[in-house]
Amino acid sequence: MHLDHTHDTTPAALGADARRPDGARRALRIGLGGPVGSGKTATVAALCRALREELSLAVVTNDIYTCEDAEFLLREAVLPPERITAVETGACPHTAIRDDISANLEAVEDLEDEVGPLDLILVESGGDNLTATFSKGLVDAQIFVIDVAGGDDIPRKGGPGVTTADLLVVNKTDLAPYVGSDLDRMAADAKAQRAELPVVFQSLRTGSGVQDVAAWVRAQLAAWTA
Amino acid sequence: MSRAALLMLADGRFPAGGHAHSGGAEAAVKAGRITGAADLEEFCRGRLHTAGLVAASLAAAAVLRVPVRELDAAADARTPSPALRVAARKLGRQLMRAARAAWPSQELDAVAREFPKGAHQPVVLGVVARAAGLGASDAAHCAVYESVSGAAGAVVRLLSLDPFDASGVLARLAPEVDRVADLAVEAGRGAVVEGVGALPAASAPLLEIGAEVHAGWGVRLFAS
């Protein structure tokens, strides 16, 4: 008989417990949500490039009907393939990140089991609407990604994503002059909706804002491991 | 027995992963075998008497304390399609997670430990039903009802079928659901005496073939 068999007798984790069954602290989980085409996958790719040298990273994608987001990340080679997992969501991306998070929990737990200790797991939602938010049972913090071309009235309209996300990223700022979006107005509306919660204006084309998003993630991680 | 616990377990909103699965309906829709409410009813009737009966018998037997490992092997033997085996284990693992949070018990923990990647969903359903204070008939009803309600819900999304028509289909099938559940309880009792070999092995070859084809698609809405 083994005297020390805690590992064998501890069943799998249930939900968001900060400790894994073996007692180690699990990875920080950050969700990225937002409307279709706002640049969630590209933001994930940019974050991976910014952080992969200093952190052990993995990504879960939630495509609605293909593996395109996972394939994009693989093609861009932002991480080795074993660190990217796709979850299938049965036509309801918001259900898989909020109402029934079981498939996503499995994905994050399996990544930690299979690729070893991780510092950070990014969970990317399938493109959805302005009400889509992540369950606290799945992620520790969430980023909502909108873009200037989707209409500069989105921050004013609010909704749970814009209003409550821990970080709001307004993406594609380089397009603002071409689509007639008023960035100052978006910033003022976001401030009115979000009070002290942070907002980053980002352009992946020019690179502006990318380091601000990465710095926010680092701060989350510092708080998580403190 | 708590009737409310039965309602919870049978509720499609119980967070146990079912929403991402179509019970073979997506493959059948693509193949032109389901085009409306009438086809859906026949498809569901087929599921009731094959996959539904087998799942409900496994669930009833699990409530009656037929050993989980034997039932899981019996489920494998009754599931030729590797894709369906994977789906059944995933759903079993997901149900186990939700159930351990809802009805904490040492028995559930023990099964979770023994099957870290999941046992077949109907077997888990039986174990969970017992942990929730339910009986074999409750578990069998849950399993049979799930075998048709998931497909009906998926077809509403896949074909933009009128949701009232889909509910009508389920209501018309209700007496048959009850009969199949009763048969399943008998089969579960039989397995207590004669072993898992006595459980039904009704098979739906098109569901198995469809699941394999579906698993190979590059673009799909549902996981199975």
Is it the case that residue A69 has pLDDT exceeding 60? yes
Q: Residues of B with CB below 8 A from A15's CB?
A: 97, 101
Q: Does A62 map to a domain? A: yes
Determine the pLDDT at residue A6.
42
Q: Average of pLDDT values for B5-32? A: 95
Contact A88/B at CB under 8 A: yes
Which candidate, B100, B149, B95, places its Cα nearest to that of B125? Answer: B95
Is it the case that residue A3 has pLDDT exceeding 60? no
Determine the pLDDT at residue A1.
38
Residues A114-137 pLDDT 10s: 998 999 999 999 888 888 899 999
A171's tokens: 């993406």
Which candidate, A106, A97, A189, places its Cα nearest to that of A148? Answer: A189
Q: Does A4 map to a domain? A: no
Q: Does A5 map to a domain? A: no
Q: List A146's β-bridge partners, or say none.
A: A170
Name the pLDDT band for B106 (thresholds 50, 70, 90): very high
How much helix, strand and coil, in percent to the nearest 5, is found in chain A? 40, 15, 40
Domains and CATH numbers, chain B: 3-9+38-208 (1.10.4190)
Name the pLDDT band for B173 (thresholds 50, 70, 90): very high
Q: Does A18 map to a domain? A: no
Q: Which residue has the higher pLDDT, B206 or A76?
A: B206
Q: Does A144 map to a domain? A: yes
CB contact under 8 A, A99 and B13: yes
Residues B218, B224: Cα–Cα separation, whole Å: 13
Residues A86-98 pLDDT 10s: 998 877 888 899 9
Residues B156, B148: Cα–Cα separation, whole Å: 13
Determine the pLDDT at residue A4.
40
The mean predicted confidence, pLDDT, of chain A is 90
Q: Average of pLDDT values for A50-58? A: 96
Q: Average of pLDDT values for A96-110? A: 93
Which candidate, B17, B79, B81, B47, places its Cα nearest to that of B176? Answer: B47
Q: Average of pLDDT values for A187-205? A: 96
Which candidate, B129, B166, B126, B124, places its Cα nearest to that of B148? Answer: B166
Greatest Cα pair distance, chain A, in angstroms, is: 72
Q: Average of pLDDT values for B192-197? A: 98
CA distance A21 to chain B (A): 11
Q: How far is CA A204 from the centre of its chain?
A: 16
Q: How far is CA A91 from the centre of its chain?
A: 19
Q: Does A14 map to a domain? A: no
Give the chain A residue whose CA is nearest to the CA of B101.
A14
Counted domains in chain A = 1
DSSP A87: -
Q: Residues of B with CB below 8 A from A6's CB?
A: none
CB contact under 8 A, A106 and B19: no
Contact A67/B at CB under 8 A: yes
Determine the pLDDT at residue A9.
57
- Residue B168, CA atoms < 13 Å, CB-side half-sphere: 10
ipTM comes to: 0.85
Q: A52 lies in which domain range?
A: 28-220
Determine the pLDDT at residue B183.
98
Q: Average of pLDDT values for B35-61? A: 98
Q: Does A185 map to a domain? A: yes
Q: Does A203 map to a domain? A: yes
Name the pLDDT band for A67 (thresholds 50, 70, 90): confident
CATH of the domain at A57: 3.40.50.300
Residues B126-140 pLDDT 10s: 999 999 999 999 999
Determine the pLDDT at residue A76.
86
Residues A163-183 pLDDT 10s: 999 999 999 999 999 999 999
CB contact under 8 A, A90 and B222: yes
Determine the pLDDT at residue A138.
95
Torsion over CA: A113, A118, A224, A142 (sign): negative
CA distance B182 to chain A (A): 30
DSSP A120: E
CA distance B15 to chain A (A): 4
Give the chain B residue whose CA is nearest to the CA of A13.
B97
Enumerate residues 6+ apart whose C-beta is below 8 A from A25: A18, A19, A225
